[in-house]
Chain A
Amino acid sequence: MEMFWLIPLVPGASAFILAVFGKRLSKKYVSWQACLSVFASFLLSLVSFFGLLKISPESLPVVKTLFRWIESGSFSADLSLQLDPLSSVMTLVVTGVGFLIHVYSVGYMAHDKGYKRYFTYLNLFTFAMLILVMGANLVLMFVGWEGVGLCSYLLIGFWFEKHSAANAGKKAFIVNRIGDAAFILGIFFIFLVVGSGDFRAITGAIEGGAVTQGMATLIALLLFIGATGKSAQIPLYVWLPDAMEGPTPVSALIHAATMVTAGVYMVARMNLLFTLSGTAAQVVGIVGALTAIFAATMALTQNDIKRVLAYSTISQIGYMFIGCGVGAYAAGMFHLFTHAFFKSLLFLAAGSVMHALSGELDMRKMGGLRKYLPLTYPAFLVGAIAIAGVPFLSGFFSKDAILTQAFAQGQYFVWAFGLMGAVLTAFYMFRLVFLTFFGQERIEPHAKDHLHESPRVMTVPLVMLAFFSVVAGYVGLPVVLGEKANLFNRFLEPVIHPAHEGAHLSISAEWMLILASVAVALCGIYAAYVFYLRSPRLPHRIVARFPALYKLLYNKYYVDEIYNEVFVRPLVGGSQIIYDNFDLRVIDGTIDGTAAATGFAGKVLSLFQSGLVKDYALALLLGVAVFLGYLLF
């Protein structure tokens, strides 16, 4: 327990060693070190978690201050790590899922020439993410926040020879910068109001009434803009689908399970602020609901297996924000927790499909893969069922907890959007399953020659994630099964301060809501079955009937194009004008002018340099004469 501060340092040290000595180490050693460092970190997280269970809630959080980091006037920040239930959940997810993905990567990246570079980045990412979730003040959290952003950039652009990958990395980085600018402004405002970035001090200040409601709204909204960037919500979600250019395990770890949920973690961490503001919480809920449904509709028409999952991730994070927005922070965190398992499972299974088909991503060139991939198929199916919200799997419990809370708080608009999103989720996930694993084979001949199930090092993590996708939900059973059934909420209680007390629904209403979610999920699955298995011509007929709608969805509402016209083009054009006029003329002109003036002065002065000793002596004599004249007269 006392060793909890080592959790981030182990992968950090490993990343450092790989970065410095990586070239001289053997591939085998690199794999072992990278995986074992994350595993060690996972074990430490587990030990710390059980340690936390024994500690009384009054002594939370456990803080370890390593040293005073920055001190300047009244501004100071410590390098201190903290552990409380919220951090503990996050460290378990990051290191647990992270470890499985590290192992999977050993198989997936085996033939890549950037193998060691890949594991260096992956370890570095784990380190940064753990700093993010364990930092005891906003400044250190921001360091982790930027660290994961950097690793995300490096890993999206991992195959940087590919133009699209390099561009996708840049896009992710720049879009995140926009959010981060707002985020850091929020941090400054907190320093202004509270005088410290320490989470305990912030909690104390809010509970002591030092923060006015207007200020809380301003700060919370700024922080939330940061969260929309990192967690890919409207309006800053555009980078995440492009981020699929990176290796698939990276999409699973960074762009599904951990990094993109940092925004949710941050909102949950600052829950008092959002609750105090009220308006900000409302904004979070509405943005979450809009994103949930907006991204789900975009997932409907995509043919790229990873892009469907990317839009699905955006949509699911929307659900987490719905949870936070309606004051059910624990439910939001619970969905984060379960989502980490089934979404990384889905990505890794998709990666396994790609691996089997020599890198094919287009679902139109798959089909009937069920019999070729005897392990990947059931794993994928489990993930799809879990995310669709079918009862008894994890996604059902967490999504239902969010929607029930939304309904209970009277946020019917948000609830309805969430429910519609759930139909769409079930539909597009099973569209994916049916197109990929069922129906007739549409595999290209050259891919079929190499068709094979992935090696054990890849399938074992799949099986383990599938196991967790099933059981993870049982730590947060719905309230209808008893007040104490939700272990997850009870564990988080010391950190998450319930926003609305006593807004409980009657038992029958709860059951109705559960039945509604179940019905919705099954409807979605059945619709997908009708569309893609029973009568495969139906989608074409519908497309022919509503060509404009299909085109709008297929082109993702033209958001990328609109952003390009409204923001990118004017910026690039403006920069070009400034470059042509200011840079080339004013700045370069000044520099060139200085050089020319110096040269000219040298030329003039060199005329005095005759090389004749007598001239110099004469100058000396005149100088002495003038000096003497000055002294004497």
Chain B
Amino acid sequence: MIPVSYFIGLSILLFILGVIAFFIKRDLITMFMAVEVMLNAANLAFIALAKAAGSPAGQVIVFFVITVAAAEAAVGLAIILLVFRQKKSIKAEDMRLMKG
């Protein structure tokens, strides 16, 4: 039996990798993938803790997260596609319409 702390450690590691990737990468697709990594890090923590606590609630939440993430991925990719059509670029810095 692998201790829960290992899972949590892996989850934290994945999350930090996701954060770093989000900040150092410049194109939207990669940033998007970084977000997915962070999401799945959280999922891993959920499952591990659910198993340790012996409660199915955490696993149920993970199913929801996966479902929502799938929908979100579809919407996110569609947005990126439209952005590309408009700007011929998927670099995050090129989108500064909200600059005050």
Give the nearest-CB partner of A602 in chain B. Answer: B100
Taking a contact as CB atoms closer than 8 A, the residue among B22, B97, B98, B100 that contacts A617 in the complex is B22
- Return the CB mask of B5-49 against A: 1 if under 8 Å, else 0: 000000000000001001100000001000000000000000000
- CB-CB under 8 A from A606, the residues of chain B are 100
> How long is the Cα–Cα vector from A606 to B99 in the complex, in angstroms?
8
A494 to B: closest C-beta gap in Å = 82
Of A383-391, A503-511, A607-615, the one contacting chain B is A607-615
B100 lies within 8 A of A613 (CB): no
Q: Do the beta carbons of A608 and B100 come within 8 Å of each other?
A: yes
Bound state CA distance, A613 and B79, in angstroms?
Answer: 14
A591-633 vs B, CB cutoff 8 Å, 1 = contact: the mask equals 0000000000000011111111110011001000000000000
| B31 partner residues in chain A, CB cutoff 8 A | 613
Question: How far, in Å, is A602 (CB) from chain B's closest CB?
Answer: 9
A610 engages B19 (CB within 8 Å): no
**Contact assessment for A618 and B100 in the assembled complex, using a CB-CB cutoff below 8 Å:** no
Q: How far is the CB of B96 from chain A (nearest CB, A)?
A: 3
B75: A residues at CB distance < 8 A? none
A613, B99: Cβ atoms closer than 8 Å:
no
Closest to A617 in B: B22
Q: B37 to chain A: closest CB distance in Å?
A: 14
Q: Are A613 and B92 in contact (CB under 8 A)?
A: yes
Contact with A along B62-100 (1 / 0, CB 8 A): 000000000000000000000000000000110111111
Query: Within the assembled complex, what's the spacing in Å between the Cα atoms of A571 and B98?
Result: 56
Question: In angstroms, how far is the closest chain A Cβ from the Cβ of B50?
Answer: 22
Q: Give B11 Cβ to nearest chain A Cβ, in Å.
A: 15
A57-69, CB under 8 A of B: which get 1 and which 0? Answer: 0000000000000
- Chain B residues near A605: list those with CB within 8 A: 100
Distance in angstroms between the alpha carbons of A614 and B96 in the assembled complex: 11
Interchain nearest-CB distance for A613 vs B (Å): 5
> Provided the pairs A617-B23, A618-B23 are in contact, do residues A612 and B100 lie with their beta carbons within 8 angstroms?
no
Chain A residues with Cβ below 8 Å from B99 are 609-611
Q: How large is the interface on B (under 10, 10 to 19, 20 to 34, 35 or more residues)?
A: 10 to 19
CB-based nearest B residue for A608: B100
Give per-residue flags for A38-68: 1 if the beta carbon is below 8 A from chain B beta carbons, else 0.
0000000000000000000000000000000
Q: In the bound complex, how far is the Cα of B34 from the Cα of A621, in angstroms?
A: 14
Chain B residues, Cβ within 8 Å of A610: 96, 99-100
Assess A607 versus B93: contact at CB under 8 Å? Given A617-B22, A617-B23, A621-B19.
no
Give the nearest-CB partner of A603 in chain B. B100
A617 to B100 Cα, complex, angstroms: 17
Q: Which residue from chain A places its CB closest to the CB of B28 in the assembled complex? A: A613
Please measure, in the bound complex, the distance between the C-alpha atom of A609 and the C-alpha atom of B99, giving whole angstroms.
Answer: 5
Q: What is the bound-complex CA distance between A617 and B95, given in angstroms? A: 15
Chain A residue nearest in CB terms to B19? A621
B100, A614: Cβ atoms closer than 8 Å: no
CB distance from B85 to the nearest CB of A (A): 19
**Cβ contact of B95, chosen from A607, A613, A618, cutoff 8 A:** A613
* A177 CA to B35 CA, complexed, in Å: 75
Contact B97 A611 (CB under 8 A): yes
Give chain A nearest CB distance to B20 CB in angstroms: 11
Q: How far is the CB of A115 from chain B (nearest CB, A)?
A: 62
Within 8 A of B (CB), among A196-220: none
Contacts of B95 in A (CB 8 A): 611, 613
Task: Please measure, in the bound complex, the distance between the C-alpha atom of A612 and the C-alpha atom of B96, giving whole angstroms.
Answer: 6
- B100 near A607 (CB under 8 angstroms)? yes
Q: A611, A614, A621: which contacts B98 (Cβ < 8 A)?
A: A611
Q: A617-B23, A618-B23 are in contact. Are A609 and B100 (CB under 8 A)?
A: yes
| A614 and B97 contact, CB distance less than 8 A | no
Residues of A174-208 contacting chain B, CB below 8 A: none
Task: Chain A residues near B96: list those with CB within 8 A.
Answer: 610-612
Distance in angstroms between the alpha carbons of A609 and B19 in the assembled complex? 21
Question: Measured between C-beta atoms, what is the minimum distance from B97 to chain A in Å?
Answer: 6
Q: How far is the CA of A255 from the CA of B98 in the complex (A)?
A: 70
| Contact between chains at B23 and A612 (CB < 8 Å) | no
Give bound CA distance, A608 to B99, whole Å. Answer: 9
Minimum CB distance partner of A605 in chain B: B100
In the assembled complex, the CB of B25 is this many whole angstroms from the nearest CB of chain A, namely: 10
**B22 adjacent to A612 (CB under 8 Å):** no
CA gap between A621 and B18 in the complex, in Å: 12
Chain A neighbourhood of B100, CB < 8 A: 605-611
- Chain A residues near B19 (CB-CB < 8 A): 621
CA of A617 to CA of B19, assembled, Å: 10
By the criterion CB–CB under 8 Å, are B92 and A612 in contact?
A: yes
Q: Which of A607, A614, A621 contacts B92 (CB 8 A)?
A: A614
Nearest chain A CB to B67 CB, angstrom units: 24
A contact residues around B93 at 8 Å (CB): 612
Beyond the given A606-B100, A611-B96, A614-B92, please list 12 additional residue pairs across the A-B interface where CB-CB is below 8 A. Answer: A605-B100, A607-B100, A608-B100, A609-B98, A609-B99, A610-B96, A612-B92, A613-B95, A614-B23, A617-B22, A617-B23, A621-B19
Q: Chain B residues in contact with chain A, CB under 8 A?
A: 19, 22-23, 31, 92-93, 95-100
Residues of A that sit less than 8 Å from B by CB = 605-614, 617-618, 621
| 29 A-B interface contacts by CB (under 8 A) | A605-B100, A606-B100, A607-B100, A608-B100, A609-B98, A609-B99, A609-B100, A610-B96, A610-B99, A610-B100, A611-B95, A611-B96, A611-B97, A611-B98, A611-B99, A611-B100, A612-B92, A612-B93, A612-B96, A613-B31, A613-B92, A613-B95, A614-B22, A614-B23, A614-B92, A617-B22, A617-B23, A618-B23, A621-B19
The list of the 10 closest CB pairs from A to B, nearest first, reads A609-B100, A606-B100, A611-B99, A611-B96, A611-B98, A613-B92, A610-B99, A614-B23, A609-B99, A614-B92
